[in-house]
Amino acid sequence: MHSSVLTTTFTLFLCANAGNIDLEIQPGLCNIYEKSPFVNVSQIIKPDGLQEPISRPAEAPRASETPKPKKRKKLSTRWTTKPSCISDEAGQEYCVFTNANFANGRGISFFTTPTIAENVKDLPAFQEMGIHDNINDFSNPPWEVRNIPGRGNGLFATRKLERGDLILADTPLGVYSSDAFFPDYELGYKYLRKTYEQLPEESKKILLRTAAHNPGDMIMERINTNAFAGEFEGMNHFFLYPETALMNHDCRPNAMYYHNISTLVHSAHASRTINIGEEITITYLNLLQSNNERQETLKMIWGFDCDCKLCSASELSKARSDLNIEKINELHTTLSDWSSASEATPKLALNLLSLYEKEHLHAAVGTGHMFAALAYNAVGDTKSAVKHAKLALDAGMVSSGSVVDDGKDMTTLIESPKGHWSYMRRGSR
């Protein structure tokens, strides 16, 4: 993974969250207050781009250790180590909670509030036996780790992968509340280190094998380089998925991810055919930006100039691509308009699919067919609507909600197109 001092987006067309969480690559954990341009992963196909960064409170509370924390609800007996806590002047506690038995002995540590820790224990990830039996299995992965000069490590396919094939699925070694890092970073680091020290020995080795691009504390810098940022239980948190963090950036990636908040499993899948020896890549940013916007974002956030195939193309090719991206954003807006003045038509949806293909936006194919299904059904062409709804399900798709929600919507359309909410919404055009 490329190094950085800022947060940016880890977003892919096809892979929305399964719960209330948005993930971003986070290299620079301690800078979250100043610089954190969050992007909703399920909004990647929309043209709204980055949201406003979180700003530092005017008077940040001081941290203090609390050997004897205030009386609170009984903590879960699922923690294998007694929680250690710090608190701010307002009395908010942040504690280190570790379950060394999580995910068949891989273990997991949280640095968060007692309230969130209590909620976590009720997730299927902690309640259902065998839920992680096929997760974190890297005994025969379809990839190998190689060193790339100037870029660090990366994943390369060792066998041919087809669209939808699983690349990897892992659980986090650590989940950290951003609010737990006070201006007294030395104290925060002390507790962050506890999240590492309380993990099983093998998991410690896994964490230490991850890259650390900057000098400093060996644990803190590895979390800085490899953690993902997102919202968890209504608060900003960081998630350390060490295997997922091995994948590098490409403006036209060949992999996509899906995060299941219930199981805490992060899985990556091929978005197109990946040949033997080809690097497996993801995108760190909103794909629907111009070449200059992408380069500026990557330079500002990661400090590197992207040299992927798209960014290395001729000026003419990049100009054509920028024009296509502009058209795609316009079509997203038009096709999402369900007002009486909407100009959306099936032809526009087909144009969108064509542009996805031209731009090699492989993960967007399912979304394109979803737009087409709705556009056809909106003018009463149920045969074409069902056709594209089936193609959407076959390809996998997500628009502004979760994969599950959009999948159900397409299934409903297939079963009863005339009973679907979109039927004849735009009359006959």
CA distance linking residue 374 with residue 385, whole number of Å: 7
Element (H, E) at 274: none
- What residue type is 174 in one-letter code? G
Residues 408-426: tens digit of each pLDDT:
899 999 999 999 999 999 9
DSSP for 299-349, please give it: HHHT-----STTTTS-HHHHHHHHHHHHHHHHHHHHHT--STT----HHHH
The ranges assigned to domains in the chain are 24-55+119-282, 315-419
Bridge partner residues of 87 (DSSP): 64, 93
Contacts 24+ apart (CB under 8 A), 199-208: 199/98, 199/100, 199/107, 199/108, 199/109, 199/173, 200/100, 200/105, 200/106, 200/107, 202/105, 202/106, 203/106, 203/107, 203/173, 206/173, 206/242, 207/173, 207/174, 207/240, 207/242
Which SS3 state, helix, strand or coil, does residue 398 take? coil
High-pLDDT (> 70) share of the chain, %: 78
For residue 34, what pLDDT is reported?
A: 26
Lowest mean pLDDT: which of 75-79, 115-119, 264-268, 321-325? Answer: 75-79
As a whole number, mean pLDDT of residues 43-49 equals 31
Which SS3 state, helix, strand or coil, does residue 243 take? coil
What sign does the dihedral 12-259-4-43 (CA atoms) show? positive
Q: Is the pLDDT of residue 74 over 50?
A: no
CA distance linking residue 208 with residue 226, whole number of Å: 11
Q: How far is CA 281 from CA 77, 130, 229, 250, in A?
A: 40, 30, 19, 6
CA distance linking residue 268 with residue 280, whole number of Å: 10
For residue 2, what pLDDT is reported?
A: 52
For residue 328, what pLDDT is reported?
A: 96
Q: Is pLDDT larger for residue 4 or for residue 191?
A: 191
Contacts 24+ apart (CB under 8 A), 70-75: 72/114, 73/114, 73/115, 73/118, 75/114, 75/117, 75/118
As a whole number, mean pLDDT of residues 81-103 equals 90
Alpha-carbon radius of gyration of the chain? 22
**CATH number of the domain at 24-55+119-282, please?**
2.170.270.10
For residue 165, what pLDDT is reported?
A: 92
High-pLDDT (> 90) share of the chain, %: 54
CA distance linking residue 260 with residue 212, whole number of Å: 27
- Look up residue 245 and give its DSSP letter: G
pLDDT band at residue 397, thresholds of 50, 70 and 90? Answer: low
For residue 182, what pLDDT is reported?
A: 62
Q: Is the pLDDT of residue 119 over 70?
A: yes
Residue 91 buriedness (CB in 10 A; 0-12 / 13-18 / 19+)? exposed
Q: Is the pLDDT of residue 149 over 50?
A: yes
Q: Are strands 227-232 and 24-26 parallel, antiparallel or unpaired?
A: antiparallel
For residue 285, what pLDDT is reported?
A: 83
CA distance linking residue 324 with residue 366, whole number of Å: 18
As a whole number, mean pLDDT of residues 334-349 equals 96
H helix count then E strand count, the chain: 12, 15
Q: Is the pLDDT of residue 84 over 50?
A: yes
Using the CB atoms, write b or e for 255-291: b if 16+ within 10 Å. Answer: bbbbbbbebbbbbbbbbbebeeeebbbbbbbbbbbeb
Mean pLDDT score across all residues of the chain: 80
Residues 260-315: tens digit of each pLDDT:
888 999 999 999 999 999 999 998 888 899 999 999 988 887 778 899 999 999 99
Q: Is pLDDT larger for residue 168 or for residue 61?
A: 168
Residue 33 buriedness (CB in 10 A; 0-12 / 13-18 / 19+)? middle
CA distance linking residue 344 with residue 231, whole number of Å: 34
Pair 397, 406: CB distance under 8 Å: yes
Q: Is the pLDDT of residue 28 over 60?
A: no
For residue 405, what pLDDT is reported?
A: 61
Residues 221-257: tens digit of each pLDDT:
888 778 877 778 888 898 999 999 899 889 999 998 8
